[in-house]
Amino acid sequence: MREPAVTQSFEIVTQRPTQTQRLGAALGALLGPGDLILLDGQLGAGKTTFTQGLAKGMQIVDVVNSPTFTLLKEYRGSTASRQSPTSQPLALYHFDLYRLDDPDEILDLGFEDYFYGSGVCVVEWAGKADEIWPTDKLYIRLSLVDESKRRLLFVASGPRYCELLQQFQKNTYAITRS
């Protein structure tokens, strides 16, 4: 008999794009090799803004923008952000599935290898490929509240992501107060 999936959720409303980025940065600072972050929400909901924050938290200094036309952009963090000075910088693989019509295209393009690799994968428009994602993941649904406010619903599945979300929640209190 299969054990029930371990899940946990957390919801927050940001007041402006900079706050959405700060939340992303707080989460990015906690990410490690092999982490999978799935983003979903309508156009303009803040998926790329949140990803820019993730990159900042991972010590990535490159300009991060949506890979809508290329499907994938790769960024490298600095070695200063890693636990050991000899460890390699953590890579961020930023996917945008907006232009894909069939989830099998992801597999045909070989993107599956990234999802089980040593970098962090962030996937915008993840709902277009729900059937291919592993059981353990962090899913974030962004939605428009008004012109500047965004609602972010975090749903963690699996022990690693539940622990990650708990730590993120602890760190979030200070962010939401500024």
Give tens-digit pLDDT for 138-162: 999 999 999 989 999 999 999 999 9
Given pLDDT bands bounded at 50, 70 and 90, which one contains residue 84?
very low
Taking 90 as the threshold, does the pLDDT of residue 27 lie above it?
Answer: yes
pTM as predicted: 0.87
Complete DSSP assignment for 115-147: HTSSSEEEEETGGGGGGGS-SSEEEEEEEESSS
Residue 31 CA to chain centroid, in angstroms? 9
Separation CA 88–CA 65 (nearest Å): 23
Task: Please determine, for residue 21, whether its predicted confidence score (pLDDT) is greater than 50.
Answer: yes
Q: 113, 112, 94: which is closest to 104 by C-alpha? A: 112
Q: Residue 60 pLDDT more than 50?
A: yes
pLDDT at 86: 45
Beta strands at 91-96 and 72-76: parallel, antiparallel or unpaired: antiparallel
In order of their start, the domains of the chain are 12-152 (3.40.50.300)
The pLDDT value recorded for residue 174 is 53
Position 112 confidence tier, pLDDT thresholds 50, 70, 90: confident
Question: Looking at the predicted structure, is the pLDDT value of residue 85 above 50?
Answer: no
d(CA 91, CA 40): 21
Q: What are phi and psi of 159, to 5 degrees?
A: -60, -45
